[in-house]
Structure 1
Amino acid sequence: MKSNSLFIASRERHAGSLAISFGLMTLLHQQFEKVAFFCPVVETSKDPDCLFMQSVFDLPQSIHEMTGFTLDKVISLLSEGRKHELYEQLIAQYQELLQQYDFVLVQGMELSRSASTIDFDLNLNLAKHFDAAFVPVLNAKDKTQDDVNKDIEMELHSANDEGIKPFAVFANQAQFPIDDSTQIHTVKDSLIFYLPYLPDLNTPTVKETYEALSGRLLLNDQVPLTRLVKRPVVAAMTTENYLGRVQEGDLIIVPGDRTDILTASVMSLYSRHLPNISGIMLTGGLVPSPIIMALLSGYQGLEIPLISVMTDTYPTAMKAHEVRAQLFSDNEQKNHLVLSLFDQYVHKECLLEKLVQPKAEVTTPMMFEYRLFEKAKQSLQTIVLPEANDERILKACEILLQRKVVRPILLGKPEEIAYRCNLLGIKLDGVEIIDHEESEWKAEFIQSFYELRKHKGMTLDLARDSISHVSYFATMMVHLGYADGMVSGATHTTADTVRPALQVIKTSPGTKLVSSVFFMCFDTRVLIYGDCAVNQHPDAEQLSEIAISSADTAMHFGIQPKVAMLSYSTGDSGHGDEVDKVRQAAQMAKQRRPDLTIEGPLQYDAAIDAEVARQKMPNSDVAGQATVFIFPDLNTGNNTYKAVQRASGAIAIGPVLQGLNKPVNDLSRGCTVDDVVNTVAITAIQAQQMQAQQQESAS
């Protein structure tokens, strides 16, 4: 029997139930439109796990709807012999969620000193009464594989005694080798997943430490608190002896009146020969004098937390050592680490086939991103990112490495990139970094570019100057097969990205025009808008080619193309140069590609709204159900996509270039880290598609 709910629970403390819930919630959101999160028993009414889920997934539930009873209330009801009332109310709240949502993920109570006063397994009882698929989470840390397997057997036996068959078991934080992550493990028909222990995931950040010690931020209260605290270290030596003992990721704990240690620590951040500390904690409630604070505030871009705590030095150090790692919604590095574990060690297909399938065919932004990642992973492509001087690119590169979406290449000086990564707390272990100024490929690229453009008056000196620019160097990498695709534009203009591609890579066979589309991700569907970035005043023939290219792009990304050629008139209701151009373009596109569903001219409301379509064009296969929107000119398209994006809250991914012989994509200079990640994934999928077409043509 398939389930539309899961009940996550652990018998042990610190098993990492939230990480498992987070991974499963991400997976569920990639399949279902509406997913609820429910904690029937919580320690406090403002449960941190519920707050985390609410923030990360932007859940419409209130905290009250996400939680049942506090543990104190549960113990009170049980002591008064009101167990039936407890179950009745929790079941009613759970059933209400089932009625409102496509899927409900329940997270049971984690064992604590208070919970140990309950003399039966409340989680198992609730899972049975909820009739939810049960998912135990085991803490495998510091255990052998034999010990963990025995724990799994005991868990299955306990569940069986209660009449429950576990859906899956997660053995989390395993420190023994997990031999084959592609092998499906089962015990008594229950799926078994072993997730390895990751030190970074289990290392607290400055935020956890800062909050545990009730700290107060000095100087910059907007400083990032996501750096990992590898060691809390008391600085009690002279400056020269102290600096020689500092290690990467140390949290420096020092009395607030030790201005020598304080200023030396801040200065060390700007040295390329000293480790990067995670933060400075000033003890005893002592704050440096105004002149020292003025000196420190003069350091531009100081992004190391300076924290004041009231406790003395050694009690502070002892408490800092006891802080446990947590997940926070604003710590994307840790969150992507959890998701990378699920990507590698959890067989999603096996889980999903045992769940109730979505009733409606919807595509949420998270579903679309999931499909991008899964498709990109099928054949890893090498994508060059020439703007390694931008921190958004570096952060995106870390995510791409963690999630194993592509093989990224960065252009720049390795020592500069390493220094920048250290300042930002980013790990790019294993990424290929190429210094384009010193590369052994430089001479080859200069000669090749000269040969390509000499009929246009190119000289060797001009070719040498061009290849010194990262955009041209990266484009030549793609052209000559050293990379499968390129993504740029975070710090360069669209012209800087597109011009080299047009000069070197050129258009694909049968295509005369390079154009662009945006993937517009709404709450329940993804639409394509084109051309909103490249062609200013396309004529009818160019407009028809944009329509065909956009329809093909839609198909490549799993969107059934129903193409609306937009104008200020619908059907035969209006005339004029602009509407006639669109009418002619639609006719030309239909003639060239009779396999496509194309309609035009259409007004935007008639293209997207079924009710309006019934009035204006009732017999159309496109009106009211369009998925691809082709705008008559750049001015209309660019303004419309931005207006729709801002008014609706839609996520706009792009511009994605189409028509090139090899994939090169442009970023907006206002792009986010997620924009970079998604654009790189799209570029990888384009590269896969082009390679498949080339192989098909060759055969």
Structure 2
Amino acid sequence: MTRSVYITGIGRGDGRQVVELGMMELLTRQVDRVGVYRPLMHDGPDRLFELLRARYRLSQDPATVYGLPYADAARLQAEQGTDELVSLLVDRFHAVARDYEVVLVLGSDYAGTQLPDELSLNARLANEFGASLLPVVGGSGGRADTIAAEVHNAQRAFTAAGCDVLAMIANRVPPAEAEATAARLAGRLAVPAYVLPEEPSLSAPTMAQVVQALGADVILGDDAGLARNVLDFVFGGAMLPSFLPALTPGCLVVTPGDRADLIVGALAAHSAGSPAIAGLLLTLDERPGPDILALAARLAPGTPVLAVAGGSFPTAAELFTLEGKLTAATPRKAETALGLFELNVDTTELTERLSVVRSPRVTPMMFEHELIERARSARRHVVLPEGTEERILRAAEVLLRRNVCDLTLLGDETAIRKRVAELGISLGLDSAAPGTGAVARILDPQTSPLRENFAELYAKLRAHKGMTVELAHDVVTDVSYFGTLMVREGLADGMVSGAVHSTAATIRPAFEVIKTRADASIVSSVFFMCLADKVLVYGDCAVNPDPDAEQLADIALQSAVTAARFGVEPRVAMLSYSTGTSGSGADVDKVRRATEIVRELRPDLLVEGPIQYDAAVDPQVAATKLPGSKVAGRATVLIFPDLNTGNNTYKAVQRSAGAIAVGPVLQGLRKPVNDLSRGALVQDIVNTVAITAIQAQGEGDAR
């Protein structure tokens, strides 16, 4: 088993933070406890470690992460020799390795380190740590033949030093040279070689970083606006008719603060989405009057307007030296970086070469990783009816960046594009999202040519309820109905809604249009309850108020299938207020009868009931109440007798035990439609869309 992965470069500016983040993502999919070790460090905050700690919920004491400051290392090497330096760094590495299944080692960065032959030092440390080495070669501004030659030379150098080279990565390769570089490396090395093209948004500073670097005052703007990437600079000096055509998407407009015409013009263009700018930077310490500022705030809410005392020329000199960094404060950059890594690196091949033994525990993070990976493995198309909702749009950006699925957003196109511009989100509408193959598009049910066909179809489906084409013409403009009809007609593989719509508004069209599967008597739901070390499946906590015995059995059977589909081995507990034969009454009898039906229909399925919750999940309680049971104490699928019990229990566990509740996931429909909680966070939406895509993969297999 590989105990560590050592990531290093051969010089400055290779952007290896993308690779370090990508490897952390890959490792945390496999094991629960991943440690981080940086043998040599600069003074000041370690932005990458803070990002890793925040994103992956690392509990590691920061004091254990570091070996020595560069200055101390250079002094020790000069006074006592390389062997002494290496010995000390190895001791500190092993202090970390003792506590973790795998250690991610972050090599030196060649940035003013005053260490002679830094490449050889990294190679030796990797060998002494017993680590597999993952070298990163920077390709910024290079040609394919030059980049390929540098990769070859680096691989030979590290191999000659006795290193176990895991793979070679060429990073920040000009997009026009990426394909040719990959062709020159394909099959030419003894190890896999991957090529990551330059992604401008990663090296672009955010508006917040501009504020910090220039010491600018924030006159207008909110946190979302300050998170926007600055992809270009446009310096305003011309008159408005000449100025507006010079604006580019994501640009920072730099202009003297007394040019009210350019300020209002740039913000009006942003509000119209042509193009969406990052913000404005006003120079010469001039500030617009209150009337202009009030108009600016109404034109483009949230868009940052900054002010500095200096003139345009010295300000420009400072701006051109800024480069974006991956930090805990730039989560969108992290998603972009992961999308870039996962799209261009064969993570399955890399995982196999790592030979990391997968942890038997399943943490919430590992479960979420698995959802993303499985959804991406066979990309599907999901429709999102709530196209102007901020959380939906932010989730859409993550889904596209990670290449999880194709998306259709429903709603008024002008309103959606304006909202996207206001939020500074990059969706790559109507074309592949930047750096990925995933595509997003907009459909307006009011104006779509599909409206007529959908009206006729819906009228036919609901004719027995008196529906006419004329009435249906209005019904199908409802985004929930329109999205559901898209799924029925195969124009989308699944639908996710509910961030602002009620559960009834989301699932009623599914009942009417998609209907239940032939092997299901009802539609029900489950939650995946991600606890600290395992994932449990709870059903039904969202749909059926008081199922009878036959319906309860159907819920159990569907939930077992859903659990198995998502990697949870089903051991079903039919919950009640009594265990075994200890109690009686109508409620217990219902559960007992449901258990008998499950056993009759699925004799291969492990099921126990009636059983109390504690006996279902606690081995010690189970040993007392149901000794010898194959389910008691080990249940993974917990079926509640009614909605009141199920809904309250899942919320109690979620809040009291700190569990992550993923769902509700609807089951029993012919095609996947899933509901969101109206309090859903962006990550909840991402998870639900990934689940829907995976369900659609299963539907495709069934066809």
Q: TM-score range by the shorter chain?
A: over 0.9
SS in 1 for 2:226: coil
Among candidates 526, 544, 568, match of residue 535 of structure 2 = 526
CA distance in 2, matches of 1:617, 1:183: 65
Among candidates 551, 558, 583, match of residue 560 of structure 2 = 551
SS in 2 for 1:328: coil
CA distance in 2, matches of 1:552, 1:239: 62
- Matched residue, 2:321: 322
Among candidates 459, 463, 472, match of residue 468 of structure 2 = 459
- Matched residue, 1:281: 281
SS in 1 for 2:225: coil
Query: 1:567-578 maps to which residues of 2 (within 5 A)?
Result: 567-578=576-587
- CA shift in 2, pair 1:449/1:280, >3 Å: same
What one-letter code is carried by the residue in structure 2 that aligns with 1:527?
A: L
Report if aligned partners of 1:531, 1:633 keep a CA contact under 8 Å in 2.
Answer: yes
Report if aligned partners of 2:382, 2:405 keep a CA contact under 8 Å in 1.
Answer: yes
Among candidates 648, 659, 665, match of residue 657 of structure 2 = 648
Deviation at 1:630, TM superposition (A): 0.9
- Matched residue, 2:213: 212
- Matched residue, 1:20: 19
Deviation at 1:132, TM superposition (A): 1.0
- Matching of residue 664 in structure 1 with residue 673 in structure 2: yes
Q: Could you list the per-position Cα deviations for residues 215-260 of structure 1 after superposition, in whole angstroms to 9, with x for gaps in the alignment?
A: 3433455343222212233333455654453333221223445555
Among candidates 637, 641, 644, match of residue 632 of structure 1 = 641
- Matched residue, 2:437: none
Report if aligned partners of 1:45, 1:70 keep a CA contact under 8 Å in 2.
Answer: no
What one-letter code is carried by the residue in structure 2 that aligns with 1:201?
A: L
- Which deviates more from structure 2 when the two are superposed, residues 399-408 or residues 546-555? 399-408
CA distance in 2, matches of 1:182, 1:537: 62
Q: Could you list the per-position Cα deviations for residues 45-100 of structure 1 after superposition, in whole angstroms to 9, with x for gaps in the alignment?
A: 52122112112211111322222211122122223226444323321221122111
CA distance in 1, matches of 2:29, 2:525: 26
Report if aligned partners of 1:4, 1:356 keep a CA contact under 8 Å in 2.
Answer: no
CA distance in 1, matches of 2:648, 2:628: 30
Deviation at 1:318, TM superposition (A): 0.9
- Which deviates more from structure 2 when the two are superposed, residues 299-308 or residues 253-262? 253-262
CA distance in 1, matches of 2:583, 2:380: 48
Query: 1:119-518 maps to which residues of 2 (within 5 A)?
Result: 121-175=120-174, 176-178=177-179, 185=186, 187-220=188-221, 222-238=223-239, 241-256=242-257, 258=259, 261-272=262-273, 274-285=274-285, 291=290, 295=294, 299=298, 302-358=301-357, 360-425=359-424, 426-429=426-429, 430=431, 431-518=440-527
- Which deviates more from structure 2 when the two are superposed, residues 548-557 or residues 609-618? 609-618
Deviation at 1:457, TM superposition (A): 2.4
Deviation at 1:604, TM superposition (A): 1.6
CA distance in 1, matches of 2:310, 2:584: 78
Percentage identity across aligned positions?
Answer: 40
What one-letter code is carried by the residue in structure 1 that aligns with 2:367?
A: F
Q: Could you list the per-position Cα deviations for residues 630-678 of structure 1 after superposition, in whole angstroms to 9, with x for gaps in the alignment?
A: 1111111111111211222222111111011111111111112222222
Deviation at 1:528, TM superposition (A): 0.8
- Matched residue, 1:86: 85
What one-letter code is carried by the residue in structure 1 that aligns with 2:333?
A: K
- CA shift in 2, pair 1:300/1:231, >3 Å: closer
CA distance in 2, matches of 1:62, 1:218: 39
SS in 1 for 2:326: coil
- Matched residue, 1:66: 65
What one-letter code is carried by the residue in structure 2 that aligns with 1:213?
A: L
Deviation at 1:286, TM superposition (A): 5.3
- CA shift in 2, pair 1:395/1:119, >3 Å: closer
Report if aligned partners of 1:10, 1:137 keep a CA contact under 8 Å in 2.
Answer: yes
Report if aligned partners of 1:397, 1:428 keep a CA contact under 8 Å in 2.
Answer: no
What one-letter code is carried by the residue in structure 1 that aligns with 2:216?
A: G
CA distance in 2, matches of 1:357, 1:495: 45
Structure 2 residue ranges without an equivalent (≥5): 432-439
TM-score, structure 2 normalization: 0.92
Q: Could you list the per-position Cα deviations for residues 81-136 of structure 1 after superposition, in whole angstroms to 9, with x for gaps in the alignment?
A: 26444323321221122111110010111111334566773212211221211111
CA distance in 2, matches of 1:316, 1:294: 22
What one-letter code is carried by the residue in structure 2 that aligns with 1:172?
A: N
CA distance in 2, matches of 1:581, 1:334: 52
Report if aligned partners of 2:145, 2:181 keep a CA contact under 8 Å in 1.
Answer: no
Deviation at 1:498, TM superposition (A): 0.9
What one-letter code is carried by the residue in structure 2 that aligns with 1:80?
A: E
CA distance in 1, matches of 2:340, 2:530: 26
- CA shift in 2, pair 1:479/1:271, >3 Å: closer
CA distance in 1, matches of 2:112, 2:697: 54
Deviation at 1:625, TM superposition (A): 1.1
- Which deviates more from structure 2 when the two are superposed, residues 55-64 or residues 625-634? 55-64
Deviation at 1:512, TM superposition (A): 1.2
Among candidates 595, 607, 629, match of residue 598 of structure 1 = 607
Deviation at 1:184, TM superposition (A): 9.3
- Which deviates more from structure 2 when the two are superposed, residues 74-83 or residues 610-619? 74-83
CA distance in 2, matches of 1:678, 1:92: 41
What one-letter code is carried by the residue in structure 2 that aligns with 1:571?
A: G
- Matching of residue 560 in structure 1 with residue 569 in structure 2: yes
- Matched residue, 1:109: 108
Deviation at 1:521, TM superposition (A): 1.8
What one-letter code is carried by the residue in structure 1 that aligns with 2:562?
A: T
- Matching of residue 54 in structure 1 with residue 53 in structure 2: yes
Report if aligned partners of 2:619, 2:632 keep a CA contact under 8 Å in 1.
Answer: yes
SS in 2 for 1:224: helix
Report if aligned partners of 1:181, 1:345 keep a CA contact under 8 Å in 2.
Answer: no
Q: Could you list the per-position Cα deviations for residues 362-401 of structure 1 after superposition, in whole angstroms to 9, with x for gaps in the alignment?
A: 2223322333233333433222221112122222223333
CA distance in 2, matches of 1:353, 1:663: 32
Deviation at 1:268, TM superposition (A): 4.3
SS in 1 for 2:486: helix
- Which deviates more from structure 2 when the two are superposed, residues 51-60 or residues 339-348? 339-348
CA distance in 1, matches of 2:678, 2:331: 21
- Which deviates more from structure 2 when the two are superposed, residues 531-540 or residues 86-95? 86-95
